[in-house]
Amino acid sequence: MRTAPTILHLDMDAFFASAEQAAKPSLRGKAVVVGGLGPRGVVATASYEARVFGVHSALPMAQARRLAPNAAYLVPRFTLYREVSEQVMGLLGALSPLVEPLSLDEAFVDLEAGAAAWDEASARLAGAKLRADIRAVTGLTGSVGLAASKMLAKIASEQAKPDGLVVIEPGTERALLGPMSVRTLPGVGPATGDHLRRAGITTVDEIAEAGEDELVRLVGKAHGHALYAMALAHDERPVVAERETKSVSVEDTYDVDIHDRMRVGLEVQRLADRCVRRLRDAGLSGRTIVLKVRRYDFSTLTRSETLRGPTDDPGVVREAAARLLEAVDTTGGVRLLGVGVSGLADYTQEDLFAQAQAQALAEAEAAAGESAVLEHPDEQEAEEVAAEPAPPAERRWPAGHDVRHVEYGHGWVQGSGLGRVTVRFETPYSEPGRVRTFRTDDVALELADPLPLVRGAVCDRRGG
């Protein structure tokens, strides 16, 4: 084990909710809940103001609304969160080549590997500078834990929340861990915690006192050995640099089950296009197309097809996903759909047959006088075979998402329904703005990209 607290754990504070508060001046200092807003939705993140009412991540959204009826409830904006995450990870990468991201808002850093710290004083300085840099670049706060191991660094960052820095000095670990709950240790979830509690073990000190043999008897060989070592503050796990991406996928959960087969097909095509955009943003291609379908009874089916070579052609991915869907019975209703690509490579071996087929189709459309530029070409095919043309779909205005009006400028959706959408016009750099209501089909109003949270910050625009 190291002799200096040179492993850093960063955890952004209430990340999604804090990003929304930074983007929306009218929500600063108020309860904000981000997550799925439908009847099956769950809380992704709650601001600290909302946590006072008992709202927390993974809580059913219906229960959150009962606990905090006056909070702002918003749909996640992952485009913004990914952009801010990339800024934060860039700051971490400047500290060390060994950065291990755990999620968009959490990572370990080996400061010693980057010569950013070598003792307690230098580690504390590096942690303080990182927190200041994160605030300057993103406008958000992060909590930093520093220790000689990953386990202890994460515990330290939990103690530092919100917006703090905690250093666990080598030699003090056992005294710190002893009175803590067994749930503090990695891998001890509710089931293991209850099992240990029934055996009279509730604290880390009691784990150490029980002994390794007793722990192996209680929770099994592998878990028992690991648990005993952690209770003694032994954690030799290294910080592992970002692992190679194994797959790229997107999925949507629907508030109401989809029964119409044509609608299911169109959703799969839309997801395939989103997946390809994400694939191309990463500079990747893939050979295996994967379709995920969760049906009305919660049964989940996964179907896959492997191509002759890697591709990032949206037409090829759409066709493969459509073929996979043909083998799935959706008559009872669908609650979730997903499309993914695996078997990734950093080059593309084009499917020449598919290209030729696409070219022939384009020529036929041109000869018939049809438009050659369609956002969703399969939607037109669906309309042609329908008995009557389908009415245009009503535009969706997710709560919290960005919009732009030709007269009033940039704003965000406060809510929509009954053919109306309510918008508050403000930016991250303005005073709280005014609220106006429009028809959902108002041509002067359109969805927009998120603005950087800090004026002048550069954000890459990525799909998602």
194 is in an annotated binding site: no
Q: Which amino acid is at 405?
A: H
Whole-angstrom distance, CA of residue 357 vs CA of residue 354:
5
Compute CA distances 248 → 244, 271, 289, 290, 319, whole Å: 11, 12, 10, 10, 17
How many beta carbons lie within 10 A of that of residue 172, not counting itself?
13
Whole-angstrom distance, CA of residue 268 vs CA of residue 250:
10
Whole-angstrom distance, CA of residue 49 vs CA of residue 92:
28
Annotation marks residue 173 as catalytic: no
Q: Could you tell me which of 252, 250, 273, 248 has the C-alpha nearest to residue 336?
A: 252
Whole-angstrom distance, CA of residue 125 vs CA of residue 116:
9
| Contact in structure between 334 and 252 (CB atoms under 8 Å) | no
Q: Which of 20, 83, 100, 106 is catalytic?
A: 106
Q: Using CB atoms within 10 A of its CB, is residue 456 exposed (0-12), middle (13-18) or buried (19+)? A: exposed
- Structure token digits, residue 87: 């800024």
Alpha helices by DSSP H, listed for 409-449, are none
Q: Which amino acid is at 99?
A: V
235 is in an annotated binding site: no
How many beta carbons lie within 10 A of that of residue 326, not counting itself?
8
For residue 10, the cross-strand partners are 107, 144
DSSP-derived secondary structure for 287-299: EEEEEEEEETTS-
- Per the annotation, binding residues for Mg(2+) are 11, 105
* Residues with catalytic roles: 106
Residues flagged as binding site:
11, 105
